[in-house]
Amino acid sequence: MRDRAMDRPLADIRIASASAHSIPTGGEDVNRLPLRKDLRRYRQMYLLALPMVIFYILFIYIPMYGITIAFKDYSVVTGITGSPWVGLDRVREVFDNVFFQRAFVNTLLISLGKIVFGFPVPIALALLLNELRSRWFKGLFQNIMFIPYFLSWIVFAGIIENLFNGSGLINGIRVNQNLDVISFLAEGDWFLGIVFITDIVKSAGWETVIYLAALTGIDPHLYEAAQVDGANRWKQTFHITLPGLANTIVVLLILRVGYLMFAGFEQIFSLYSPIVYDVADILDTFVYRIGIEQGDYSFAAAAGLFQGIIGLTLLFTVNKIAQKIGSAGLF
């Protein structure tokens, strides 16, 4: 009898503890609140989110109706609703177009090049900055790297042209050294090199900040324990720092792959010219040229729709692969 009497208060304590964790102070389960009560209780949060919801509805979801012109013989005079349906005829025209095929290949090559050459750079910079002991020098270097991110591609392209065009600074130095002038922005190989380098210079600072923020979340006691075990800085980097950055690296890589079909319209449009179309014309510039400059809206919509579907498919596929290998993924 005594044992049962002693067990009963313990059971009551467990029940009370579980109830206290499952029921909020208001006495209601948040997950089971009716919509009206939920809206009333969290009305401030919903009001804060309302402008963004309205923005997405007006400028993202409603304009999606315009995708239908990819399956119509669209005319500005008759409008979207008055234009006749042509099914997949415009899509077939897109796939048969040799310039679309060239733009598709260029998009893949440029995007993959940016991932191969540009993606590891901010990781390396974050690891190097993390090893610096001088906070003043660390902050100064970080700010210098971050400045290009705030410049628009139009301004940045102007700087690049002043450096690399025929009468620019680089060729001026070459002329003084009795070397030949190089048309950096008019030769395919040089142009692609400038695209990769400028992309690194402009975006590496921002991604470095993201990795540095992730580094602050690593428990410093892990480094202390590693030092006690005799691990040097290299071993600490490979066994503590990089695993601590793994989820951040995976998320940013997923985003990069998701934008594989979007090789950077602003950058390419600001730097390229018809001379380098063979290596520089990407899907974004192709769609712009066909749709805006030539006015073939149905053809451009079909090409853009294909571009978006491939990008969305890649995003979900890579995210699923990341979850399969043990990462949290993007969603």
222 and 240 Cβ atoms separated by less than 8 Å: yes
pLDDT in tens, the chain (331 residues): 444 444 444 444 343 444 444 444 444 454 556 778 888 888 899 899 999 999 999 998 998 888 899 999 888 888 888 889 988 898 899 999 999 999 999 999 999 999 999 999 999 999 988 888 888 888 888 888 888 888 899 999 899 988 888 778 888 888 888 888 888 888 888 999 999 999 999 989 899 999 998 998 888 888 889 888 888 888 888 888 898 898 899 999 998 998 888 888 999 999 988 899 999 999 999 999 998 888 889 999 999 899 889 988 988 988 888 888 877 777 7
Q: Tell me, what's the pLDDT at 269?
A: 92
Cβ-proximal residues to 186 (8 Å cutoff; 6+ apart), any chain: 273, 275, 276
Spatial distance between the Cα atoms of 321 and 327, rounded to a whole number of angstroms: 9
Residues of the chain with CATH 1.10.3720.10: 96-324
Query: Could you identify the residue written with the tokens 């048309």?
Result: 183
Query: Could you identify the residue written with the tokens 């313990």?
Result: 10
Regarding the domain with residue range 96-324, which homologous superfamily does it belong to in the CATH classification?
A: MetI-like (1.10.3720.10)
Q: Could you tell me the pTM of the whole model?
A: 0.80
Burial class of residue 208 in the structure, from the number of CB atoms within 10 Å of its CB (0-12 exposed, 13-18 middle, 19+ buried): buried
Which tokens go with 56? 């997405």
Task: Please report which residue ranges of 89-219 form alpha helices under DSSP H.
Answer: 89-96, 98-118, 120-131, 135-146, 153-164, 169-176, 188-215
Spatial distance between the Cα atoms of 162 and 177, rounded to a whole number of angstroms: 19
